[in-house]
């Protein structure tokens, strides 16, 4: 929702670092999306580092991250840093998220099937079975 520009950084050790604590925001709700890990040294747990966009129109990384961010927002997590920690060592966050979503979908389908089997044993379409 907010963008930080160079004037909102601290220059330390030869890099501009984004100083999230100075934003006066609850850092449990802040995600720093950047292509430079050095920019997040002050609050590394809030950072999601992606590959730098090199002008390739086929690079859809930012668009592919939309469902990831929507899932975080919709789930009402207490602290986004826990989610980011979970994905921290993934080379491809989007791919890992998609795999996890697919696993979750399959688990939910299995649970629904089991519930339907249990209910089907006791109920028919028109009422209770004898």
The residues spanned by each domain of the chain are: 6-122
Rounded to an integer, the average pLDDT of 3-19 is 83
| CA atoms within 13 Å, Cβ hemisphere of 128 | 1
| CATH superfamily, domain at 6-122 | HAD superfamily/HAD-like (3.40.50.1000)
Nearest CA to 46 out of 21, 13, 16, 76 is that of 21
State the sign of the Cα–Cα–Cα–Cα dihedral 46, 48, 54, 60: negative
Question: Tens digit of pLDDT for each residue in 36-60?
Answer: 899 899 999 999 999 888 999 999 9
Long-range contact pairs involving 123-126 (C-beta distance under 8 Å, separation at least 24) = none
Question: Tens digit of pLDDT for each residue in 66-115?
Answer: 999 999 999 989 999 999 999 998 888 989 999 999 999 899 988 888 88
pLDDT of residue 2: 66
- Pick the more confident residue, 2 or 53: 53
Residue 120's pLDDT band (boundaries 50, 70, 90)? low
Rounded to an integer, the average pLDDT of 4-20 is 84
pLDDT of residue 29: 95
C-alpha pair distances (Å), 127 with each of 60, 115, 122, 123, 124: 51, 17, 9, 6, 5
């Amino acid at each position: 929702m907010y963008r930080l520009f160079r004037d909102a950084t601290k220059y330390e050790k030869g890099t501009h670092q984004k100083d999230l604590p100075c934003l006066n925001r609850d850092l449990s709700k802040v995600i720093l999306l950047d292509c430079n890990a050095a920019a997040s040294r002050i609050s590394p747990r809030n950072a999601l580092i992606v590959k730098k966009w090199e002008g390739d129109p086929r690079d859809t990384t930012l668009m592919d991250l939309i469902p990831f961010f929507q899932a975080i927002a919709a789930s009402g997590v207490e602290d986004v840093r826990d989610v980011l920690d979970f994905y921290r060592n993934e080379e491809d966050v989007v791919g890992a998220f998609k795999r996890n979503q697919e696993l979750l979908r399959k688990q939910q389908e299995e649970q629904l099937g089991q519930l339907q089997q249990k209910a089907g044993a006791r109920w028919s379409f028109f009422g209770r079975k004898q």
